[in-house]
Structure 1
Amino acid sequence: MKKTLMTIVGTLFFMCASGWNAFAADLGIITGGEKGTYYQFGLDLQKLTRDKGIRLNVYNSKGSIENIYAVFKRPRTQMGIVQSDVLAFVSKVDTHPTLVRIARKIKMVFPLYNEEVHLLGRRDIEDFDGLTGKRVAIDREGSGTYLTARLLFEISGIKPGEMLTIGTDEALERLKAGTIDAMFYVAGLPVKLFTEKVSAEDGLAFIPIRGKNIVEYYPSAEIPADTYAGQPDTVPTVAVKAVLVSYDFRQSNCESVGRFGRILADNMEWLKTNGHPKWRSVDLDYPLKGWEQYDCVRKRLQSVMKTTPPESAEPNPVLDAVKEMLKP
């Protein structure tokens, strides 16, 4: 009898465990490069939700421009992290039908943190104006860094000699080799690429970004002293807001993304303690101008209170619009 009882208990346990697995929600989040803060946030969220009924797949990407279109169009990519200036750009372009649809269908899950604009270059370049005539890497087409760099040059009136659309790893190698003069990287500090691969012996420095035209468009920020090797002084810069977004799902994904949002909100202390340092500056209640919270998340919060897929070869209309409207 005892043996039979144990067999029944064991079978029930197995069925419950299997049932939990069977009913776990599969969600995907598209982030950024593996050395960037977006990707680290994705891994933190994957670890958080692993035992809470959500299987979260974390995809890397070129960045924000790719991410917003992937959430709109790509299967199994229900969420993404996007820069606020990319969201603002998309929402303001009312002459492109696809961008109008994207602006209508992309919804904010939560605002996250400020992303500082890192401008690393030769030590003899004293400020942003010093980029006139220089060779500057602005990251790959499809990244948020690419759009931010283009906009900064546009609103400041500074004309670099050449804007190179190369990835941040390659840009850093070429900067160290002296074949380019500076590189942009928009990411929440501390950025893994710079903490791991930049030393005082490289002879590089973070270049201040300020100026009336720039700070009228982007909020002021700073890179505190000693954030990176060979950086003894605080460096003034500007920032954008990182935003977690989703598609305007109406059925099962609405429920799953809402549940995910609730788990995130309920476990902020765990994320601040165990995740990337930037979690400590996340304000989930930050009022992001022009964007309301996804109702599937908002309702879930209020109810109690609160392996990379193949890259699509099809054209990205968001990138096309950026390039067309910001032609040199």
Structure 2
Amino acid sequence: MSQRLAALIALLAFVVVVMGALVTGGKLGLDDAGPTRISFQIATGSTEGVYFPVGQALAGLISHPLGVGRCDTATVCGPAGVILSARTSQGAADNLRAVNSGAVDSGFADGDVIAAAVAGQGVFRRPARHLRVIAALFPEEAHLVVAANSNIWSVEDLRGKRVLLGPPGSGGMVRSRAILTAFRVRVREIISDDSAGQMMREGKIDAYFTVAGVPLDSVKILLADHVARLAPIDGEGRDRLIQMVPQLEHATIPAGAYPHSGPVETVATRAYWVTRDGEGDSLVYGMTRALFNPANHGMLAQSHPSARAIGLDSAAVNPPAPLHPGAARFYREKGMLSGDSG
């Protein structure tokens, strides 16, 4: 299932949920006798990425409009009256700035980018002190995408080549530079908001880095069309990179994940759902509980293959920012945290 189709299905499911509430007499919490309607946004990424379809699915499953039958089952939905919505964004760094400033309620971001935001490093001029983690979601592998007709077979082969690092001020740009620094390679840096895939098709770049859950549709299309292939991120340079960026770890993109591609050694971080410290404990507790209700896992997994890895066992492991107290309460109840953690 493509990410655009998954996003459309999740959006239609959400519309059906809301319309069902209206048809059955629910007023989305606006009735004086019922719960107050609570709007809660999730900043995701572009419609071509992984964050958006997962965010759409998560919003549809956790939203709790009045009169929706599935929410009558305890803990399947979030607190009564909460309506989640996923919005597109420029990506992780943009999401974190918006969440930290209070411009948006929550967002998805990579673990290494969150760590940089909390520390006030890289593209973040000052520490983002208001970020709180709701949950770790799924692994995100680094992809080194190179032109199919190039002689690039490793990170070292990028020396002197035209490499798109990402949009200005993005987490991707900082990560790309970290990779090149760890491998001690200098390239012709290209910083641009333009589509990496289109730039490669037009011969404007030789390679680019991207981090996402596997598979990423835009990369699948390039490989299927024999425009690009994947090169590994491995060896001593990878070891130095992991020492530099603790939120990264050894990983392998499995054979068959992409057309014409065997296993590819690389590094990975995790995607996290983060919010602001001012969000209510009971609200975050209820949403976290719904996120990990087993009844929701199947539909969530349908949004993208990466979402199959969303699970309670890894939800609170090594968070790059403090856990939100509401989420920490849920994890303690499930035995995932000690009494003084979070």
| Structure 2: runs of 5 or more not aligned | 1-21, 65-76, 243-247, 337-342
* Higher alpha-carbon Rg: 1
Question: 1:87-102 maps to which residues of 2 (within 5 A)?
Answer: 87-93=114-120, 99-100=126-127, 102=128
Q: CA RMSD in A?
A: 2.8
Q: 1:158 aligns with which of 172, 181, 185?
A: 185
Cα distance, 1:26–1:210 mapped onto 2, change above 3 Å: same
1:46 aligns with: 59
Cα distance, 1:304–1:220 mapped onto 2, change above 3 Å: closer
Q: 2:231 aligns with which of 204, 207, 225?
A: 207
2:88 aligns with: 60
| Structure 1: runs of 5 or more not aligned | 1-12, 307-328
2:250 aligns with: 220
Q: Give the secondary-structure state (helix, strand or coil) at the position aligned to 1:18.
A: coil
Deviations 1:213-267 (A, max 9, x none): 4334131111212212232x111111111111111015xx443233211210214
Q: 2:324 aligns with which of 276, 294, 303?
A: 294
1:110 aligns with: 135
* TM-score normalised according to structure 1 size: 0.77
Percent identical pairs in the alignment equals 25
Which residue identity does 2:198 align to in structure 1? E
Which residue identity does 2:26 align to in structure 1? A
Q: 2:216 aligns with which of 187, 191, 207?
A: 191
What's the offset of the Cα at 1:19?
A: 6.0
Q: Is the 8 A contact 2:41 2:85 kept in 1?
A: yes
Distance 1:19 1:209 in 2: 49
Deviations 1:44-79 (A, max 9, x none): 11221244443112111111111111101143x111
2:98 aligns with: 70
Cα distance, 1:105–1:240 mapped onto 2, change above 3 Å: same
Cα distance, 1:122–1:290 mapped onto 2, change above 3 Å: closer
Deviations 1:95-130 (A, max 9, x none): 999723x1x321111111111111111232110111
1:119 aligns with: 144
Q: Give the secondary-structure state (helix, strand or coil) at the position aligned to 1:141.
A: coil
Q: Is the 8 A contact 1:139 1:146 kept in 2?
A: yes
Q: Is the 8 A contact 2:255 2:263 kept in 1?
A: yes
What's the offset of the Cα at 1:186?
A: 0.9
* TM-score normalised according to structure 2 size: 0.74
Between Structure 1 and Structure 2, which shows a larger proportion of helix residues?
1
Distance 1:95 1:226 in 2: 34
Q: 1:258 aligns with which of 285, 290, 314?
A: 285
What's the offset of the Cα at 1:182?
A: 0.6
What's the offset of the Cα at 1:92?
A: 3.2
Which residue identity does 1:146 align to in structure 2? M
